[in-house]
């Protein structure tokens, strides 16, 4: 669950703005934005009876999506438009979770049939 904070601090360090005052002002809000899919996954894990490995695979997939998305923002998006690019983070996270659940469901159904 600390991976989004690590990604954010790395991003700040990369831009040279890593100071305590900057972290106090922006860390919590940006961390909550980056970690929102992770938190929703945890809430669904406790609300819906899911297996533990489903949770672990889902969180790992979200971490991978966050890392790849942040790399895309760093290297492919112009700096003036990087804030706008984050609009695509939530739909991409939702698509990755749907993909994870579809693959796990397919694997489970396939093992039942065999």
Q: Are 7 and 67 a contacting pair, CB within 8 Å?
A: yes
Phi then psi for residue 2, to 5 deg, are: -90, -5
| Distance from chain centroid for Cα 101 | 16
pLDDT of residue 17 exceeding 90: no
**Predicted TM-score of the model (pTM):** 0.86
What mean pLDDT is reported for the chain? 89
Sequence ranges of the domains in the chain:
3-113
Residues 47-59, buried b or exposed e (16+ Cβ, 10 A)? eeeeeeebeebbb
pLDDT in tens, 54-105: 999 999 999 999 999 999 999 999 988 988 999 999 999 999 999 999 999 9
Phi then psi for residue 19, to 5 deg, are: -130, 160
């Amino acid at each position: 669950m600390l991976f989004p904070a690590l990604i954010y601090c790395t991003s700040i360090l990369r831009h040279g703005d890593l100071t305590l005052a900057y972290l106090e002002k922006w860390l919590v809000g940006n961390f909550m934005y980056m970690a929102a899919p992770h938190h929703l996954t945890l809430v669904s894990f406790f609300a819906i009876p899911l297996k533990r490995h489903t949770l672990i695979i889902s969180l790992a997939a979200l971490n991978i999506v966050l890392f790849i998305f942040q790399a895309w923002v760093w290297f492919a998006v112009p700096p003036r438009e990087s804030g706008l690019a984050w609009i695509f983070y939530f739909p991409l996270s939702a698509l990755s979770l749907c993909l994870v659940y579809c693959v796990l469901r397919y694997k489970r159904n396939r093992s039942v049939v065999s």
